[in-house]
Amino acid sequence: MLGAIQGAALPTRSVPRLFSRASLFSTVSSTQALPSLTQEALFLDDEGFAKDNDNSQPQKQQPGGKPFTFPKKGQQLEMFCESLAFKGKGVCKIVDSGFVVLCDRALPGERLIAQITRKKGSYAEAMKIKTISPHDDAVIAPCEHANDCGGCKMQNLSYSAQLRIKEKQVFEVISRLGRFGSASGTIMKGIVGCQSPFGYRNKMEFSFGVKKWIPKSELEELSQMELCQDEFALGLHAPGRFDKILSINKCLLQQDAANKVLALVQHFCELHADELPPYNTFTNTGFLKHLVIRSGREPETGALQLMVNFVTSCYDPTLLQPLVEQVARVPEVVSVVNNTNSRVGNTSLGEEEFVLYGKSTITECINGLVFEISANSFFQTNPRQAEVLYSLVEDAATLKGDGSEIVLDLFCGTGTIGLSLAGRVKHVYGYEVVPEAIADAQRNALRNGITNATFVQGDLNKIRDNFADQFPKPDIVIVA
């Protein structure tokens, strides 16, 4: 999830030495129940869209037995936002009827006018039109694209309020889905905020396309003919619209040097759209699919490093060469790679990878260790907050200090958490399904001179009876 918030909520020793990244960070990627506002249960799927609980039934009457009138699509209604659901959707009630509506960028305590965009049996979804009375913690979003972009959801809410809401959501998930009951208040420590809620993200993925999303502020200035024409776009997807791209040349989540690359690529490709056609998801034609910018730090000097990855539908280095030459002039760029993906669709994971300039990897330093990052490897998107997280994990593990313990790191990715503990335990065993991540983990252990770490490739969704035989009995288990 893109957003200007990173935090960590940590379980205490009442859950003995079993640590979950999902509960350590206040970001939940699986389906989460919305706060209970009516007798029906509402849920959001992994893409943030609402869906019915199979057992829910449409509400036929208002409280008190009055006839109920369902809202109609396109209708503008006054409503009151009671809470925030997963991914920042406001859970609102229509004034006078109490009918539940999910509305993007509505804040708890806010009274607003919203237009119904989608109607279901037990709820509706809406687009915010205007605020009648604001939330106490409402702020002016610092990003010019905040109202139109599908990335950040809560920039119009103060960061301190974001932290409170995130902490509450994680607590509700643990207490309800974990069924800890009255013990819920003792198994989770408070959220830990990020010192820099902007400019922290070390990986941003931008999409090329031919369907440009036009912000509301620009609609009146365009003719109907202009609105119907295909147009080059590079940026982020509009909310809920994976066929539409909002063109941007600056994102506040990444660093200034990365934004310089983004603006350069956008300008160059727009001028040369005939030679470098963007991918069309409707006709499955075109060349440029994604621009992925990753950042790291040089171990000795701490200097910023950038890796620029062009994801294309085929391999044609001659076609990309003029663009690569332009990008390579940015001082921070140390690597330009080309991932090719010939499959139908717009996924950013490549089938093959080619180095077009510089190195095949960049590095990042966390708690004294140096990690290599390849184009497709998983790595914590906020390295400074990752340092905080790993330190909290170590504190919560309450290591004996005699180097006698065995750590089992499940869903280990590139091995960062396990390797950060390796110097204080007997052995670390990492388990991960992605072979490239395992290769990165092994390389990271070698680079840091760590010999007491073993990484195994395997799928925990297809676990076998002999799984426990692959490792000694662990003293500490880390799960994703």
With 0.85 as the threshold, say if the pTM is over it. Answer: no
Whether 266 has a binding-site annotation, put simply, is no
Q: How far apart are CA 87 and CA 24, in angstroms?
A: 17
Residues 227-265: tens digit of each pLDDT: 445 789 999 988 777 778 999 989 999 999 999 999 999
- State mean pLDDT over 163-168: 90
User: Is 432 annotated to bind ligand?
Assistant: yes
Tokens at residue 347, please? Answer: 């996924």
The bridge status of strand 233-238 relative to strand 241-247 is antiparallel
Banded model confidence at residue 218, pLDDT cuts 50, 70, 90: low
Structure-model confidence comparison of residues 226 and 416, the more confident one: 416
Topology, domain 399-479: Rossmann fold (3.40.50)
Residue 274, exposed/middle/buried by CB under 10 A (0-12, 13-18, 19+)?
exposed
3-state secondary structure of 363: strand
Q: If you average pLDDT over residues 19-40, what whole number do you get?
A: 35
For CATH 2.40.50.140, the residue range(s) in the chain are 27-157
pLDDT at 296: 96
Looking from the CA of 112 toward its CB, the CA atoms found within 13 Å total 27
pLDDT (0 to 100) of residue 11? 36
CA distances from 141 to 252, 384, 425, 442 (A): 11, 23, 45, 42
Q: Which CATH number fits domain 27-157: 2.40.160.40, 2.40.50.140, 2.40.30.170, 1.10.3720.10?
A: 2.40.50.140
Q: What is the pLDDT of residue 467?
A: 81
Residue 43 has pLDDT above 60, yes or no: no
* Residue 427 to residue 419: CA distance in whole angstroms: 10
Q: Does pLDDT of 292 surpass 90?
A: yes
Range list for CATH 3.40.50.150 in the chain: 399-479
Q: 231 a known binding residue?
A: no
Cα atoms in the 13 Å half-sphere on the side-chain side of 129: 15
Q: Which band of pLDDT confidence, cut at 50, 70 and 90, is reported for residue 463?
A: confident
Residues 6+ apart with CB under 8 A from 353: 337, 338, 339, 340, 360, 375, 376
pLDDT in tens, 264-282: 999 999 999 999 999 998 8
**What is the assigned CATH class of domain 203-366?**
mainly beta
Cα–Cα distance for residue pair 193/478, rounded to 1 Å? 22
**Which range among 25-29, 100-104, 114-118, 344-348 shows the weakest confidence by mean pLDDT?**
25-29
Pairing outcome for strands 100-104 and 124-133: parallel
Residue 391: exposed, middle, or buried by beta-carbon count in 10 A (0-12, 13-18, 19+)?
Answer: middle
Question: How confident is the model at residue 295, as a pLDDT?
Answer: 98
CATH 2.40.50.1070 in the chain is located at: 203-366
Q: How many whole angstroms separate alpha carbon 309 and alpha carbon 321? A: 13
Written as one letter, the residue type at 156 is N
- 112 confidence band (pLDDT: 50, 70, 90): very high
